[in-house]
Structure 1
Amino acid sequence: MNRGTRMNCLMVFCNVPDEITARHIAHVLVQEQLAACVNILPSCQAVYRWEGALQEGSEYPLLIKTTAAAYAALEQRLQALHPYDVPEIIALPVAQGLPAYLTWVSSEVVSREC
């Protein structure tokens, strides 16, 4: 694998309000080949300011493995599936990783136009 393939992979973070939503989004993203894999982490507490008021609640973090070429379509689909008005969707490039794993991620994700 060359450096270009590694740079092609992204780790996308997104929190959702409950386990049912987490499972639904994970299944859709993988079935539609927008993500190679989605890890659903255990519930965590979030403290944040929304519309001028302090908020607190539990959320389920999703770790979504995808490619840069599929990111725009993934973001659009994730936003459509997400119940929040402004969902947390943050993508970071994968700088290093096991070459065989990153090749697998790239092969499982289908690039498409939005």
Structure 2
Amino acid sequence: MPDDTLIENPASSETEIPMADTAAAATESPVLAAAAAPAQVLYVGPRLLRPFPVGPRTIYRGPLPVPLAMAVAADPDLAALFVPVADAGQALRTVAMPGTALARAATAVSAKYLRKEA
């Protein structure tokens, strides 16, 4: 049945509008997949002012804000800095060790997003 059709509910006098299948939509777009992720994640990178203000050790429950989700989908370094809360302790230790993948990602994100825009 197409999504734009109405369903008559025989138990009530109201007409229901079918909801979109968000799981199917999330598999079609990495941005929607990132935004639809229900897990808790912790940001372990430097303070950002753009693309969306976020501070170190910020916990997100549920989907990321859309501008941030779009940036995460487009930037693997930024995406690496969002870790599951269960892995927070190890990630915070790792990001502080020079030469580790998380430390390099934090340096790249800092260089990319902390520059003044022209």
Calculate the TM-score normalised by the size of structure 2. 0.27
Greater helix share, structure number: 2
Report the TM-score, using the length of structure 1 for normalisation: 0.27
Query: Normalized per residue, which structure has more strand?
Result: 1
Greater C-alpha radius of gyration:
2
